[in-house]
Amino acid sequence: MTSAIGAEQTSVFPRFLDLAYPSIERGEGVWLFTADGRKILDACSGGAMVSCLGYGVQDVIEAAASQANAIAYYYNHHFTNRPQEQLAERLVNVVAPEMARVKFTSGGSEANEAAIRLARAYHVERGQPQRWRVISPAQAYHGSTFGTLALSGRRHSLQQPYEDYLPESFHLSPATPRFDPTGETALGELDRIVEKVGADSISAFFCEPVSAAALPAYSPPPGFWEGLKKRAQRHGFLICFDEIVSGMGRVGSWLAAHELPIEPDIVTIGKGLGAGYAPLAAVLCREHVFDAIAQGSREFDLGHTWDGAPLPCAVGLAVLDVIQRRGLVDRVRERGPRLLDELRAALKGSSIVGEVRGRGFLLGVELVDPRDGSSFLPRELDAASRVDDTAFDLGLLVSSTQSTPDGYAGDEVLIAPAYTSSDAELGLMVERFAATIASVERTVIHELGRQPVAAAPGA
């Protein structure tokens, strides 16, 4: 079998029909092995910031096998099970002591849908059924279901042609250094939306405290969070944090929320919770959110077939054990700043690199037009894909995105290694990435030729 499979050679319905997909046969630590014998260094935890422990972790594999032997599945509607009970308890004791209850799902989109509904249920139970509107920053990604897709305001790069299906949602421009370094513009937009729709119609503010793919490693300035907190208190809406990526130690603390001057009422975690050994995510809420239901209808009737099933929860427990036993959150917190320094040093002087950001093991590299060092690169160059392809040719997996048509961000590269990556492996990731950028820089400069300078960002 060849390792790159095109749309014409498969019965699978591929995501992009013009791409040929290399076939991965196995993984070991932070290395991926393709079916035709290539060895790829994984700097993005399985490509989707999931495999935070790397591949082949025996303790997790054995826990999964042992649970599958005992019982892999039964429906949460009829029974509970020990792994679900224990994992919920460990999450509220270890990961998020400020939270009171946990509801498991199979993926991030489901967890975020559950969070939207939980916020809504909270208000309905408290006699405020008019509160349903959700406000969120536009440059974000919260999932691919219609509810979660509506939370992002990326009309051009994500929502078309499904806009007609999306519920009404309200968005702020992100408070990035490029447009709004103090966060005051975003807060002003929030005030205008509140004024327009009426404070008592708002259910929640929904956001990534530290962005993942949409604006890698970006978090608004403290002033934004402080202003948001005041407004949530004043207007009575809830704060929901999507920590599907940033949770479970990715940014050097169990939750990114723990580093910010604001406390969410509801938080979702995923990706690193199952670490790629099982599909697993969760929505967690504080006591007052749970109490609204406990003292009201006593029902939050939302379920998917696999929610809280024994097998994924046993995997989650084993993952948490490994993270704790090996002190991996501390490792990410301590090693992350040095990794950022190393990446910055390696990219210094590149004419296509703008901001290089990092929080723990979540790093982002912004690409810019070399002709002025600040504009987005022309969309048709598709620098994001060039980076991914060149990196792959050099034996490195990174993940790039292009949101240029929405005007808030251009081409961005995400680097999110496994917490278990050795110093030597991190060094090699930086080295191969610098070589990737140098090669892309050459082709970009060559292709730009004498084209006019690109339009100003956001124009």
Ligand X SMILES: Cc1ncc(COP(=O)(O)O)c(C=O)c1O
Binding site for ligand X (CB under 6 A): 48, 107-109, 112, 141-143, 208, 212-213, 242, 244-245, 270
- Distance, in Å, from the CA atom of 419 to the CA atom of 52, rounded to the nearest integer, reads 5
Residue type at position 239: I
Q: Which of residues 271 and 333 has its CB atom nearest to ligand X in the complex?
A: 271
* Residue of this chain nearest to ligand X (CB atom): 108
Listed in sequence order, the residues at least 6 apart from 223 whose beta carbon sits closer than 8 Å to its beta carbon are: 182, 183, 184, 187
Q: Which of residues 143 and 410 has its CB atom nearest to ligand X in the complex?
A: 143
Q: What are the percentages of helix, strand and coil residues in the chain, rounded to 5?
A: 40, 15, 40
Q: Which of residues 108 and 276 has its CB atom nearest to ligand X in the complex?
A: 108
Listed in sequence order, the residues at least 6 apart from 78 whose beta carbon sits closer than 8 Å to its beta carbon are: none
Summary count for the chain: helices (H), strands (E):
11, 17
> Rounded to the nearest whole angstrom, what is the least distance from the CB of residue 141 to ligand X in the complex?
5
- Distance, in Å, from the CA atom of 193 to the CA atom of 201, rounded to the nearest integer, reads 11
Q: What would the DSSP string read from start to end of 307-375? A: TT-HHHHHHHHHHHHHHHHTTHHHHHHHHHHHHHHHHHHHHTT-TTEEEEEEETTEEEEEE--TTTSSS
> Rounded to the nearest whole angstrom, what is the least distance from the CB of residue 79 to ligand X in the complex?
25
> Rounded to the nearest whole angstrom, what is the least distance from the CB of residue 434 to ligand X in the complex?
26
> Rounded to the nearest whole angstrom, what is the least distance from the CB of residue 50 to ligand X in the complex?
8
Q: Which of residues 96 and 293 has its CB atom nearest to ligand X in the complex?
A: 96
Residue 431: strand, helix, or coil: helix
Residue 31: strand, helix, or coil: strand
Q: Which of residues 51 and 112 has its CB atom nearest to ligand X in the complex?
A: 112
CB-count burial class (<10 Å; 0-12, 13-18, 19+) for 221: middle
Check: CB of residue 404 under 8 Å from CB of residue 375. no
> Rounded to the nearest whole angstrom, what is the least distance from the CB of residue 238 to ligand X in the complex?
18
> Rounded to the nearest whole angstrom, what is the least distance from the CB of residue 114 to ligand X in the complex?
12
> Rounded to the nearest whole angstrom, what is the least distance from the CB of residue 271 to ligand X in the complex?
7
> Rounded to the nearest whole angstrom, what is the least distance from the CB of residue 266 to ligand X in the complex?
14
> Rounded to the nearest whole angstrom, what is the least distance from the CB of residue 243 to ligand X in the complex?
8
Q: Which of residues 213 and 343 has its CB atom nearest to ligand X in the complex?
A: 213
Q: Which of residues 242 and 342 has its CB atom nearest to ligand X in the complex?
A: 242
Token readout for 429 is 């990731």
Q: Which of residues 215 and 434 has its CB atom nearest to ligand X in the complex?
A: 215
Residue 236: strand, helix, or coil: coil
Q: Which of residues 43 and 245 has its CB atom nearest to ligand X in the complex?
A: 245
DSSP label of 201: G
Q: What would the DSSP string read from start to end of 84-153? A: HHHHHHHIIIII-TT--EEEEESSHHHHHHHHHHHHHHHHHHTT-TT--EEEEESS----SSHHHHHHS-
Element (H, E) at 225: helix 222-235
> Rounded to the nearest whole angstrom, what is the least distance from the CB of residue 319 to ligand X in the complex?
15
Q: Which of residues 247 and 310 has its CB atom nearest to ligand X in the complex?
A: 247
- Distance, in Å, from the CA atom of 386 to the CA atom of 352, rounded to the nearest integer, reads 13
